[in-house]
């Protein structure tokens, strides 16, 4: 089975300028994802999809391939990661390369490890899944959330059935953390949703599920890396 890892890294970030190459604990942010992909030993190809020659050079320095540049049309705020994946697979096909699975690894998840990637592929193989998506437990149960009317009344804000229940007894809820998406290529190219038939979760620790979007996220990632570098 041939596997490709795609690391999307456009240069036009607005929330945190050039966040994908911003230095985190001595290395560009994108380096953590490239190194985790390499360490996993899963992939026949680890590629970075970018519109920036500077990003491309940094990616190559850390061992990723950049066989083609991303077009400007696929590098704006409205472009989805899945449009990028489809374009990458199309370009590889034109180069005569085909892959059985595609793994999307966002560079904004620097605490995701090689072990997480390996665990995801083990789930894919063990369950003969079409897709595996990384999730983590939510910090706060959505059962304690609600919408507010215009007058901000809290009447019926919380379901009366859970008002007197301890937090530990509530049903666990999970969120997609954006760190790992693994999909069989044929299924990806034919389906409208990777969350449909034969899709399974890869449960990751909350500590490793940070997704960097702003300065606070970046500072938190730095603290966690310093604290858990030996643990991870």
pLDDT tens digits along 114-138: 999 999 999 999 999 999 999 999 9
Per residue in 21-70, pLDDT tens?
A: 999 999 999 999 999 999 999 999 999 999 999 999 999 999 999 999 99
CATH number at residue 223: 3.90.550.10
Strands 199-203 and 174-184: unpaired
166 domain residue, yes or no: no
Domains in the chain, number: 1
149 domain residue, yes or no: no
Q: Is the pLDDT of residue 73 over 90?
A: no
* Distances 164 to 141, 172, 179 between C-alpha atoms, Å: 15, 17, 35
Residue range(s) defining the domain that contains residue 43: 3-136+175-228
* Distances 75 to 56, 100, 107 between C-alpha atoms, Å: 14, 26, 15
Cα separation, 222 vs 68, in Å, equals 31
Q: What is the mean pLDDT of residues 110-115?
A: 96
Per residue in 183-216, pLDDT tens?
A: 999 999 999 899 989 999 999 999 999 999 999 9
Q: Quote the pTM value.
A: 0.92
| pLDDT bucket at 99, cuts 50 / 70 / 90 | very high
144 domain residue, yes or no: no
pLDDT reported for residue 231: 47
Q: Other C-beta atoms within 10 Å of 205: how many?
A: 16
Cα separation, 64 vs 56, in Å, equals 9
């Amino acid at each position: 089975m041939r596997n490709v890892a795609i690391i999307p890294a456009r240069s036009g970030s607005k929330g945190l300028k050039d966040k994908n190459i911003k230095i985190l604990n001595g290395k560009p942010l994108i380096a953590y994802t490239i190194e985790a992909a390499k360490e996993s030993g899963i992939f026949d190809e680890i590629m970075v999809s970018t519109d920036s020659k500077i990003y491309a050079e940094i990616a190559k320095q850390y061992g990723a391939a950049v066989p083609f540049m991303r077009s400007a049309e696929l590098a704006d705020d409205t472009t989805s990661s899945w449009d990028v994946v489809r374009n990458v697979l199309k370009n590889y096909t034109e180069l005569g390369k085909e892959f059985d699975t595609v793994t999307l690894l966002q560079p904004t998840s620097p605490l995701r490890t090689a072990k997480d990637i390996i665990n995801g592929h083990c789930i894919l193989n063990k369950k003969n899944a079409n897709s595996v998506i990384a999730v983590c437990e939510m910090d706060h149960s959505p059962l304690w959330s609600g919408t507010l009317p215009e007058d901000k009344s809290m009447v019926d804000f919380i379901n009366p059935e859970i008002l007197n229940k301890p937090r530990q007894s509530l049903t666990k809820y999970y969120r997609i953390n954006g760190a790992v998406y693994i999909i069989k290529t044929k299924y990806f190219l034919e389906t409208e949703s990777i969350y449909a038939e034969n899709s399974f979760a890869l449960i990751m620790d909350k500590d490793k599920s940070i997704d960097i979007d702003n300065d606070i996220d970046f500072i938190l990632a730095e603290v966690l890396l310093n604290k858990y570098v030996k643990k991870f």
